[in-house]
Amino acid sequence: MVAPFAQRLRPLGSNVFDRMDQAKQDARQAGLDLIDLSLGSSDLLPPAEALTTVQSALSDPDTYGYTLFHDTAAFRQACAKWYEDKFGLAVDPETEVLPLIGSQQGTALLPLALLNPGDVALLTDPGYPSHVGGIHLAGGIPYFLPLVAEHGFLPQWDEIPAEVCRQARLLVLSYPHNPTTATATAEFWQQTLEFCRQHEIVLAHDFPYVDWCFDGRVAPSALQADPQKTCAIEFFSLSKSYHMGGFRVGYAIGNRDLIRALRLVKSTIDFHQYQGILRGAAAALATPETFLHHWRQVYRERRDTAVAALHHIGWPVPLPEATMYLWAPLPTGYGGSSGQFCLDLVKATGVALSPGSGFGSRGEGYVRFALVVEGSRLQEAIKRIGYFLEGSLKNPGAEFE
Ligand SMILES: Cc1ncc(COP(=O)(O)O)c(C=O)c1O
């Protein structure tokens, strides 16, 4: 008989996403042609240079051993150069960079380095589920900053009670934002850093969608508002910009004390990943901007195709400024929850979306589309959604008026 599990497990996991996984499996088994728009996993190919670099590393026996914590200088230098080139920020590759097994590893482990049980951490609702998971694992108490459309899905600093500001040790943000697709300006980051300094709060900025900003927008780094890196740390992922989610590679850049503390936590849990992956990731970071521009166009075209098709079927979703997602208020007239909508939809049509409630209570009333299939498949998915909304499929969702 297994003893009762630790209490820290209780708040983890989301039944909504679990139920969606089951529903996708059921839809497949029922013979439906699944169009899975529920995961932000890029369908595009990583840069060829990254793949050939990983491939040739396999025939180099020097890559087979453990990758220890001083490894690899070449990868850390590539990260520092990437930041310097992109944001004009000076970064010391020795002390201000930490390779990660995906950026999620960094944001999930940072609370263990910072929070004592009962310390407060500020984070957004809705937000990326792993952020709150890391706070729970560290025994921290999450305080949710509501993100609402009226405020551009940005937190309002003056609405946080003074007592909460006094107790808070950590603030976790992520712009361009998953799931709302909102972006933040340089001015927003200035105000955020002022808030953090005033209350002695560490800013952790998760920055995986830096490259997917559309129509001439540019996503500023939070570190541009803290170039001396006094209290901020930023996390970058190769999963999105370079389509390397399965390789599990990302990195943190920021305040050297934070980097050192995070490294201490990480070194208790694992080593770095296979050196060949770090070599491939360094090659990816050197990809010319023209490739990024091309992929950005791909996502922009998908966004335009999907939004136009949704408007055509009478679902007026907003046009996102950034990310690989659409954040769509549930269709007018639908009386059920976002979870029920997604379950009914996938069962009836084979189209899988993410229920907004999986990203926090403020996500209820929304669904998220991940634009990870070609335009023609998006059109097919939305055509089926149109039939579903009209009630012309067999199982159109009982609550629909
Ligand atoms: C905000 C955010 N952070 C982190 C991740 C995961 O990044 P990685 O694959 O580097 O762990 C995602 C993936 O969807 C994300 O949306």
Per-residue pLDDT reduced to its tens digit, 333-343: 888 999 999 99
- The one-character DSSP state at 230 is S
Q: Mean pLDDT across the chain, nearest whole number?
A: 94
User: Who contacts 78 (Cβ-Cβ below 8 Å, separation ≥6)?
Assistant: 281, 282, 285, 286
Q: Which two tokens stand for residue 32?
A: 């439906």
Checking if the pLDDT of 237 tops 50, the result is yes
Checking if the pLDDT of 292 tops 50, the result is yes
Other C-beta atoms closer than 10 Å to the C-beta of 310 total 21
pLDDT digits (tens, 9 = 90+) for 77-129: 999 999 999 999 999 999 999 999 999 999 999 999 999 999 999 999 999 99
The residue whose CB lies within 8 Å of the most ligand 1 atoms, and thus the one to mutate among 206, 207, 234, is: 206
Mean pLDDT value across residues 307-320? 97
% of the chain with per-residue pLDDT over 90: 90
- Please name the residue that has the structure tokens 């976002």: 338
pLDDT band, very low/low/confident/very high, at 3 (cuts 50, 70, 90): confident
pLDDT band, very low/low/confident/very high, at 17 (cuts 50, 70, 90): confident
Checking if the pLDDT of 398 tops 70, the result is no
Both 271 and 222 in one domain: the answer is yes
Which of 220, 254, 286 is the last residue in one of the domains? 286
Both 155 and 22 in one domain: the answer is no
Q: How far is the CA of 104 from the centre of ligand 1 (A)?
A: 6
Q: Which domain holds residue 373?
A: 7-45+290-390
Residue 327 placed within a domain: yes
Q: How far is the CA of 374 from the centre of ligand 1 (A)?
A: 21
Checking if the pLDDT of 396 tops 50, the result is no
- The one-character DSSP state at 195 is H
The residue that leads in pLDDT, 401 or 296, is 296
% of the chain with per-residue pLDDT over 70: 97
Res 1: pLDDT = 66
The residue whose CB lies within 8 Å of the most ligand 1 atoms, and thus the one to mutate among 105, 132, 237, is: 237
Res 15: pLDDT = 74
Both 132 and 182 in one domain: the answer is yes
Res 171: pLDDT = 98
Q: How far is the CA of 144 from the centre of ligand 1 (A)?
A: 19
Residue 81 placed within a domain: yes
Identify the CATH number of the domain in which residue 25 sits: 3.90.1150.10
Phi-psi region of 229 (alpha: psi -120 to 50; beta: other; left: phi over 0): left
Q: Which of 235, 169, 155 is nearest to 202 (CA)?
A: 169
Which of 286, 306, 340 is the last residue in one of the domains? 286
The residue whose CB lies within 8 Å of the most ligand 1 atoms, and thus the one to mutate among 14, 100, 101, 178, is: 178
Residue 71 placed within a domain: yes
What atom in ligand 1 is closest to the CA of residue 40? 14
Residue 261 placed within a domain: yes
Which of 255, 286, 317 is the last residue in one of the domains? 286
Mean pLDDT value across residues 142-147? 98
Both 226 and 359 in one domain: the answer is no
Distance set, CA 92 to CA 49, 77, 86, 225, 349 (Å): 26, 8, 15, 17, 51
What atom in ligand 1 is closest to the CA of residue 249? 10
What atom in ligand 1 is closest to the CA of residue 174? 1
Checking if the pLDDT of 399 tops 50, the result is no
Residues having CB closer than 6 A to ligand 1 are 40, 102-104, 128, 174, 178, 206, 208, 237, 239, 245, 250
- Please name the residue that has the structure tokens 């690899």: 72
Both 269 and 321 in one domain: the answer is no
Question: What is the helix (H) or strand (E) element at residue 139, kind and residue range?
Answer: none
Identify the CATH number of the domain in which residue 93 sits: 3.40.640.10
Q: Which of 155, 157, 250 is nearest to 210 (CA)?
A: 250
Please give the torsion angle defined by the CA atoms of residues 33, 307, 363 and 11, in that order, rounded to the nearest 10 degrees.
40
Both 174 and 307 in one domain: the answer is no
Nearest CA to ligand 1 atom 6: 104
Both 153 and 250 in one domain: the answer is yes
Triad 57, 105, 112: Cα angle to 5°? 140
Question: Total domain count for the chain?
Answer: 2
